[in-house]
Amino acid sequence: MTDTQQNSRIEGDDYVVSDAERAHFAEHGYVHLRGLLTEEEVATLEVDYDRFLRREIDVPGKDFCDMAGDYGREPGDYSIVNVMLPRRYHPSWQDNVYERRAASVARQLCGEGMTLDYDQLLAKQPYKEDAVFAWHQDMAYWPDTPDTRTATTWLAIDNSTVENGCMRFAPATNHESELRPHVAQFGDRGESHALGTDLRDDDVVVPVPILRGDVTVHNERVMHGSGGNTTDGFRRAYILAFRSEDTVKIERELGFTHSHNDDDEVLGAVGVEGQTR
């Protein structure tokens, strides 16, 4: 029997999300889904994932960078290796099994009319205590649009643990009426991409360790971040963000593609300090 047959929640390109999981996503702004991909499926993706890390697949300019430092760092020193838009630079990934199954999850969590907006790899190198992903709400990075529905699936390529820097969420912060004010983390936005905002005293923090092949899915407003990697292994994640077709159309008309090589003026127009929308 194959892994796929063993996991009764996988039906070809679909993954069956339960009512309880849908309710958790709506209420808390995130949900953990077990076994979105089989071991065999993860192992296939992992081959190309590691080619990106070894720089055997060319990723131009700032789309290969460190999310825990500025653009001036040498790649060997990166704490969180960030590859933006891998499917653009490695077209054979387009329409892979993860994209297809995650699309079915996005549909079940957010409704019809969702489409893939961007993809991203985030790999924390071993023994990098500063591989900290600052607390943030994803909307702070993005232009404002009328339909903000978002399902961002975060696939664990390695078992993701508290020790290697798993995702952490502040549940229900997605219901706040205003976005929290975010500031650039390492110089201005020409020098680094990362934005962050402080936790508040009454925020509850929930670390969400997950297994290889599992995903967490989060929405556009929940506060989240992650801690450093104190282990001798990588913490590799593969992220797909699904947003409404209308939103993606507006973003592209603005020239906003989620590439860090997007025009500075376009990038400067979002993620500004003091933002509270």
Segment holding 87, helix H or strand E = helix 86-89
Residues 6+ apart with CB under 8 A from 205: 168, 169, 170, 199
Q: Kindly state whether residue 133 participates in binding ligand AKG, applying the rule CB under 6 A.
A: yes
Q: How far is the CB of 46 from ligand AKG (least distance, A)?
A: 17
Cα 265 to chain center, whole Å? Answer: 24
Q: How far is the CB of 202 from ligand AKG (least distance, A)?
A: 22
Among 108, 137, 145, 152, binds ligand AKG (CB under 6 A): 152
Segment holding 226, helix H or strand E = strand 223-226
Q: How far is the CB of 169 from ligand AKG (least distance, A)?
A: 10
- CB neighbourhood size of 62 (10 A): 17
Q: If you search the block for the tokens 């076994």, which residue do you land on?
A: 35
Q: Using CA atoms, how far apart are residues 128 and 24, in angstroms rounded to an integer?
A: 32
Q: Kindly state whether residue 122 participates in binding ligand AKG, applying the rule CB under 6 A.
A: yes
* Closest residue to ligand AKG in the complex (CB): 226
Q: Kindly state whether residue 239 participates in binding ligand AKG, applying the rule CB under 6 A.
A: yes
Q: Kindly state whether residue 244 participates in binding ligand AKG, applying the rule CB under 6 A.
A: no
Residues 6+ apart with CB under 8 A from 77: 66, 69
Q: Are 32 and 210 in contact (CB under 8 A)?
A: yes
Q: Kindly state whether residue 226 participates in binding ligand AKG, applying the rule CB under 6 A.
A: yes
Quickly list H helices, 10-65.
19-28, 39-53
Q: Kindly state whether residue 154 participates in binding ligand AKG, applying the rule CB under 6 A.
A: yes
Q: Kindly state whether residue 138 participates in binding ligand AKG, applying the rule CB under 6 A.
A: yes
Q: How far is the CB of 226 from ligand AKG (least distance, A)?
A: 3
Q: Kindly state whether residue 182 participates in binding ligand AKG, applying the rule CB under 6 A.
A: no
Give the DSSP letter string of 146-204: S---EEEEEEESS-B-TTTT-EEEETTGGG-SSPPP-EESSSSTTT---EE----TT--
Q: How far is the CB of 61 from ligand AKG (least distance, A)?
A: 21
Q: How far is the CB of 162 from ligand AKG (least distance, A)?
A: 12
Cβ distance to ligand AKG smaller for residue 79 or 96: 79
Sign of CA dihedral 54, 56, 61, 63: negative
For the record, the structure tokens of 162 come out as 């508290």
Among 151, 237, 248, 267, binds ligand AKG (CB under 6 A): 237
Phi, then psi, of 192 in degrees rounded to 5: -160, 165
Cβ distance to ligand AKG smaller for residue 59 or 195: 195
Q: How far is the CB of 5 from ligand AKG (least distance, A)?
A: 30
Cβ distance to ligand AKG smaller for residue 112 or 182: 182
Binders of ligand AKG: how many residues, by CB under 6 A?
10
Residue ranges that bind ligand AKG, judged by CB under 6 A: 122, 133, 138, 152, 154, 167, 224, 226, 237, 239
